[in-house]
Amino acid sequence: MSPKWQIGIIGVGMWGRVHLDSVRDEERAEVTCICSRTEQTVKAVQQEYAIRHATTDYQEILADDSVDAVIIATPPHVHGDVFVDALRAGKHVLLEKPVSSSLDEAALMVQEADAHSDLVVLEASCRFSRLNPKFAFVRNMVQKGRLGDIYFVHHLQLKPTTYTEYNPRAEWAADRRRAGGGPMFDWSGYDFSFHLGVLGDRHDLQGVRGFAVNGLRPALGPADPDLVEQHAAALLQFDHGLHYYYERAGGAYGDVPDDTRIHGTRGGLRFDYLPWGGDVVEWYTESSGGKVECRELRVDMAGYSGEHNTELIRHFVDCLDGRVAPVLPIGLAYRHMQMVWRILRDS
Ligand SMILES: NC(=O)c1ccc[n+]([C@@H]2O[C@H](COP(=O)([O-])OP(=O)(O)OC[C@H]3O[C@@H](n4cnc5c(N)ncnc54)[C@H](O)[C@@H]3O)[C@@H](O)[C@H]2O)c1
């Protein structure tokens, strides 16, 4: 057996630990180094996972010639510096979403990735979207013309709770400067990756009309432009006659599960695109009797582990092995970020 890929994880908070578990499931790779901001966290995780090297200075990992690749799982405002330094140190990178908390910084990160085209760079928002069998299933229906010309996509999810309530250690998550944004910003990478990807990534954004608000729950404080949005929605107008209504909330008065609808001139689909959202896709089409009927199609999820982060690590290692190209290059993730930036900053 060829030697295992040696991986360093920078940021071992809530999601860095998920990566630790996922790499354990992958026999072609192992985590040899970890980094976190505090000595206390990094030593505790080192002991729990029996990791060779633990540090509070990520440069130590980048200077280690035995390390082939790094996973960046720090808060978004720290992604940029670590990413650029990692590529300059010759490391392959799996970058957590969102690309960055700043659009300007994200643009520089794309330039840096372009300057290191010999290295694998994968952005993590393919995890719930393009690596999920529902993506290929829906894209295939669109490509085969089962829906006709797509003129409208509608996606909605509302939650009453925020990221900070979900991960109380993430004190950065309510701060717009460090997080970049709230539920819409946090999830748009997954959502755009799925919804625009099944349409072939061919649409260019022409116009946006929407809103973004915070200050909705007294327990979380008054409205404040320095805090992330709690509820945002927009109607996005693309070329080729496509409109996309997009809404997300975390910390608002509502609780609506993920729901996607895709409407074409010959049919429509309704489904929850997320990997844990079941295997049914509803297909609305006209029967030979002239009535609109709904067929429940089942997506073949065999071969999909259901462990979405394990699938992400497997794809990253497949990229390192040279078997496939990254399904979500950073340039595409940046395009998605530009779109959400227009909603949140220009609305
Ligand atoms: N929590 C989730 O459910 C989840 C899911 C998917 C993706 N993500 C993404 O993962 C990333 C981390 O999120 P989280 O929820 O794990 O946050 P977290 O706050 O729980 O963990 C962040 C980690 O980064 C470390 N860190 C911060 N600054 C650092 C620095 N300068 N150098 C080294 N380490 C530093 C912290 O010490 C901590 O270990 C974010 O980009 C987030 O969007 C999180």
Sequential pLDDT tens for the chain (347 residues): 679 999 999 999 999 999 999 999 999 999 999 999 999 999 999 999 999 999 999 999 999 999 999 999 999 999 999 999 999 999 999 999 999 999 999 999 999 999 999 999 999 999 999 999 999 999 999 999 999 999 999 999 999 999 999 999 999 999 999 999 999 999 999 999 999 999 999 999 999 999 999 999 999 999 999 999 999 999 999 999 999 999 999 999 999 999 999 999 999 999 999 999 999 999 999 999 999 999 999 999 888 888 999 999 999 999 999 999 999 999 999 999 999 999 998 75
> What are the Cα distances from residue 326, in Å, to 8, 50, 210, 275?
19, 30, 32, 19
Sign of the CA dihedral with 94 first, then 229, 237, and 133 last: positive
**Co-location of 120 and 160 in the same domain:** no
Q: Is residue 112 part of a domain?
A: yes
Same domain (yes/no): 158, 272? yes
Structural domain span for residue 161:
133-304+329-346
Number of domains the chain contains: 2
Residue 193, domain member (yes or no): yes
Q: Kindly state if the Cβ of 123 falls inside 6 Å of ligand 1.
A: no
Residues 189 and 220 in one domain: yes
CATH for 19: 3.40.50.720
- Is the Cβ–Cβ distance between 75 and 99 less than 8 Å? no
Q: Which atom of ligand 1 is nearest to the CA of 76?
A: 41
Whether residues 74 and 212 share a domain: the answer is no
Residue at 317: amino acid letter = V
- Asked whether 187 and 194 are in contact (CB, 8 A), the reply is no
Check pocket membership of 78 for ligand 1, CB cut-off 6 A.
Answer: yes
The distance of Cα 137 from the centroid of its chain, to the nearest Å, equals 19
Instruction: Give the residue from 226, 221, 246, 249 showing the smallest Cα distance to 234.
Output: 246
Q: Locate all alpha helices (DSSP H) within the chain, ordered by sequence.
A: 14-24, 39-49, 58-62, 76-88, 103-114, 133-143, 163-166, 176-179, 183-197, 308-320, 330-346
Q: Is the C-beta atom of 16 inside 6 A of ligand 1?
A: yes
Confidence (pTM): 0.97
Is the minimum distance from the CB of 97 to ligand 1 under 6 angstroms? yes
Q: Whose CA is nearest to atom 32 of ligand 1?
A: 37
Q: Are residues 90 and 178 in the same domain?
A: no
Tokens of 337: 């970020």
Residue partners of 100: CB distance under 8 A and separation at least 6? 76, 77, 79, 80, 106, 109, 180, 337
CB of 73 sitting under 6 A from ligand 1: yes
Let me know whether 94 and 29 are in one domain: yes
